[in-house]
Structure 1
Amino acid sequence: MLKSIVNLFFPKVCNACNNLLNENMDAICLDCRHDLPLTNFHFDNSDIVKKVLYGRAEIENGTALFRFEKKGNVQRLIHNLKYKGDEHIGFVLGNWLGGELKTLENYNTIDVVIPVPLHKNKLKTRGFNQVAKFGQQIAEALNADYLDDVLLKVTNTKSQVNKKRLARWNSNEEQFTLENQTKIENKHVLIVDDIITTGATLEACVLVLNQAKNIKISIATMAIA
């Protein structure tokens, strides 16, 4: 009864379309779940993510849950996650993608899941890393360790949304550092992020992580632009 009263005064709405959610729905309504633009890269053995990084960084596997479209529902989901503080969206998307990846041999060899980090100042301002719960749920699904003390961001940069490809690449130089690298030696590491666009940030992360001995790296993101 208490839950019903709370829902009456503070109704839950879909984070994609803003329609009211039924009690058995979680963050995203059924209509949006059916309409969200899934990539199915991991099911199709697609090399699209690999091609984004081709010639710059070598990875084992790469996937994204959704295709990102401007003013689309995926953009609204990620906006609500990052800028309205609805961390539960990351939890839901992590469960979604993790549930799919655990059925695939290529991803069952993952030992460690590492989020693309935020600089400590941005983390303090935002209060959370928007890919933390996403990565934690994928790690749980794959029976992997979730480590956020290995890849650290040492340069506090402004948003890269409106930057050109070269400017994004240059701004990522020396942005990240590797700590506690023995934790990932001889491991298969999955890097998780929200969106892959030019691949500059993920490229920088891969190059830094490759300083560890004998590791393999894969990538999983919420969306690809």
Structure 2
Amino acid sequence: MQNILKGFINIFFPLVCNACKNLLSDNENFICTDCRHKLPVTNFHHNNDKSIENVLYGRVAVENGTALLRFEKQGTVQYLIHQLKYGGNEKVGEFFGKWLGAELNNLENYANIDMVIPVPLHPKKLKKRGYNQVEKFGKEIANALQINYTDDILIKVSASLKSQATKKRLERWQLNNELFDVNNIEQLNNKHILLVDDIITTGNTLESCCIQLQKAKNIKISIACMAIA
């Protein structure tokens, strides 16, 4: 009966791949098998790759770092994340979160994570967009690891500047460091936090978040992103 109902619905509301827009088969979900196999997977967490840690080397201490995919201009990953951030397609974050969460759940390096915390949006941007694009990504990882997802400790208190490209590194660090703050920091004492974001490029945002989180006593921080540029 369920298969009949599903088939009837597909006649009028066909399920298509969110990447190539071709019809999905019965055993496919969100994106087709062909598109999924073509995604540039990093395997950082499987290969003990230090690319994320190297981006932040000498800036903040990170226990573990991973990104599910490589961000390539004009590629499928860019298209999907654009749909997530600007097209209202929150299922992108959900899909990536379930995928990465299932993989991290089987790894010793991520077995002692206590809490997942997202890089926050400024309240004005959150109100305008209606959601934090990292929320469902982080929640699915938290579900897989069977730990709490907490979005009210790390907060964004200032809107990001449009461009910092011409500023020196110290100036950028000082400005970024003023963007974030923490509430009830004692909740993080002696905890291992997984900080999640969509894309890591220069690492400036993650660095600023880590600096605020490190106000907690004896805290450990690991990082998980959807993609690395």
- Please report the TM-score for the alignment, with normalisation by the length of structure 1: 0.93
Which residue, out of 105, 108, 114, partners 2:108? 105
Partner of 2:158 in structure 1?
A: 155
**What residue identity is the alignment partner of 2:228?**
I
Which whole-Å CA distance do the structure 1 matches of 2:19 and 2:204 have between them? 27
Given the superposition, is the C-alpha separation of residues 182 and 170 from structure 1 closer, same or farther in structure 2, using an over 3 Å criterion?
closer
Partner of 1:185 in structure 2?
A: 189
Which whole-Å CA distance do the structure 2 matches of 1:21 and 1:154 have between them? 42
**What residue identity is the alignment partner of 1:43?**
H
- Aligned identity (percent) is 58
How many pairs were matched up? Answer: 224
Partner of 2:17 in structure 1?
A: 14
Which whole-Å CA distance do the structure 1 matches of 2:157 and 2:226 have between them? 24
Which whole-Å CA distance do the structure 2 matches of 1:179 and 1:214 have between them? 17
Which whole-Å CA distance do the structure 2 matches of 1:203 and 1:147 have between them? 19
Which residue, out of 4, 11, 30, partners 2:33? 30
Partner of 1:50 in structure 2?
A: 53
Which whole-Å CA distance do the structure 2 matches of 1:12 and 1:164 have between them? 45
**What residue identity is the alignment partner of 2:110?**
Y
5+ residue gaps, structure 2, are none
Partner of 1:81 in structure 2?
A: 84
Give 1:22 deviation, angstroms. 2.3
Alignment of 1:191-202 (within 5 A): 191-202=195-206
SS of aligned partner of 2:128: helix
SS of aligned partner of 2:30: coil
Which whole-Å CA distance do the structure 2 matches of 1:5 and 1:168 have between them? 55
The root-mean-square deviation of aligned C-alpha atoms, in Å, is 1.8
CA displacement 1:110-141 (0-9 Å, x = unmatched): 00000000011111111111110110111111
Question: Structure 1 segments of 4 or more deviating over 6 A?
Answer: none
Larger radius of gyration: 2
SS of aligned partner of 1:221: strand
- Please report the TM-score for the alignment, with normalisation by the length of structure 2: 0.91
Which residue, out of 194, 203, 210, partners 2:207? 203
Which whole-Å CA distance do the structure 2 matches of 1:82 and 1:7 have between them? 27
Contact 1:116 1:151 in 2 (8 A): yes
Which whole-Å CA distance do the structure 1 matches of 2:13 and 2:95 have between them? 20
Asked if 1:217 is matched to 2:221, the reply is yes
